[in-house]
Amino acid sequence: MTAETIIAADLRINARWILPVEPAGVVLDHHAVLIQGDRIAAVIPQAEADRQCRARETVDLNQHVVMPGLINLHGHAAMSLFRGMADDLPLMTWLNEHIWPAEGRYVSEKFIADGTRLAMAEMLRTGTTLFSDMYFFPEVAAQMARDSGMRAQICFPLIDMPTPWGSGPEDYLAKGTDLIQQWQSDPFIQIAIGPHAPYTVSDGPLQQALALAEAQGSRIQIHLHETAFEVDEALKQSGKRPIQRLAELGLMSGNTQCVHMTALSEDDIDTVRRSGAHVIHCPQSNLKLASGFCPVTRLMAAGINVAIGTDGAASNNSLDMFAELSTAAMVAKAVSGDAASVSAHQALAMATINGARALGRDNELGSLVPGKLADLIAVDLSDPYLQPVYDPASHLVYSNHGRQVSHSWIAGVPQLQDGRLTRIDVPDLMLKVDEWRQRISNTR
């Protein structure tokens, strides 16, 4: 860029630090992000911006880190309305005796609309700009996200049994096909196929899901190897580990997002590596449900892309991605016995560019690179408990929590300004949430 070049920007963001994610491990001091329309135009030193930039609006964030928006790659957004309802239980007891009965009783289009808005409010407030959702009435969740200007991968559910959304696999696949076509090419909403788990979806529907994914170029997200019990039961029933079964069916590929992945043999890891599939790590949910430990260090050493998700608020009980990536880094160190495992920069990459890569969108999301979409957040590091600042990346992972997020932009449009949501009516939302609390409390 020459000294004569003049950059016309819609928005200039001056930051004390910028963590671009790409190049990896870099922190930029006293730089500016310039935004034109919905794209990043440049990331340059502030002194250079003073000479070369003409911006319609300037935001000064002199004690903040500016970085890409976080990508929460697995969750069940509307389950926020079940937060704290059935704690301290093992996975199958939690599902069979509490969650599935509650879903049968309460889940409806209104439940999904209100629960998804609650989840989005929490996620936007804590730095997430794109979330993946796997739940019922996905058409409602997609519309809620689009109306709020939030990016989402919406995984329509596929399961052998009837649910509030449909009668069975044929019904789910037909509705899902319509959903894919409805949202095709939308820059905010990406429709994926969400088979619940190998133990709840039989071979026929899985093969149909694969055919649909190949025909439409859709991602597949599935809970996989969530517990040792799941793997042991599969071996008893079929003589095959779930990953082996999916690989034989053709479902393990670069379009596959494998969620949880706690019980993995070396052969399992090699299968994932050869397939190009992605792993979605949900450490806090795995810890709370005592599901096991995802071997993140071994996966990364094998060259497997590992992203992060919070899971639903019913099993976490938070959708704060900063808390999640902190837990991911520390659990990886304990499991591997290596304090250098999953550095602060690697954890931040898991929550940004790795998530974009799993979505097939790393060419436009996940880092602050000119030409990419302007999805970014600012984190205020001025609080005494974050002082002194030697390494902002370290603070983001080990000292910060999401409530320090002060600003966010999606496609260059402000979603959070000085900690206030711009597109979600919080008082109205809280009234609806309290109505659900009273209804669920009175009928449990």
Q: Is residue 411 classed exposed, middle or buried when 0-12, 13-18 and 19+ CB atoms within 10 A define those classes?
A: middle
Side chain identity at residue 417, one-letter code:
Q
The pLDDT of residue 95? 85
Select from 209, 219, 154 the least CA-distant residue to 358: 219
Select from 294, 372, 393, 386 the least CA-distant residue to 335: 294
The pLDDT of residue 444? 66
pTM flag (> 0.95): yes
pLDDT in tens, 36-49: 999 999 999 999 99
Point out the residues of the chain with pLDDT beneath 50: 1-2
Q: Which domains does the chain have, with CATH numbers?
A: 7-68+371-411 (2.30.40.10), 77-359 (3.20.20.140)
Q: What is the C-alpha to C-alpha distance for residues 382 and 396, in angstroms, rounded to an integer? A: 12
8 A C-beta contact, residue 153 and residue 130: yes
The pLDDT of residue 3? 52
The pLDDT of residue 400? 83
8 A C-beta contact, residue 221 and residue 185: no
Please provide the size of the chain in residues.
Answer: 444
Instruction: Give the up-direction half-sphere exposure of residue 113: CA atoms within 13 A in the CB hemisphere.
Output: 9
Q: Is residue 54 classed exposed, middle or buried when 0-12, 13-18 and 19+ CB atoms within 10 A define those classes?
A: exposed
The pLDDT of residue 89? 87
pLDDT in tens, 93-152: 988 899 989 998 999 999 999 999 999 999 999 999 999 999 999 999 999 999 999 999
The pLDDT of residue 1? 44
The 3-state DSSP class for residue 419 equals coil
The H-or-E segment that residue 292 falls in is none
The pLDDT of residue 6? 86
8 A C-beta contact, residue 72 and residue 123: yes
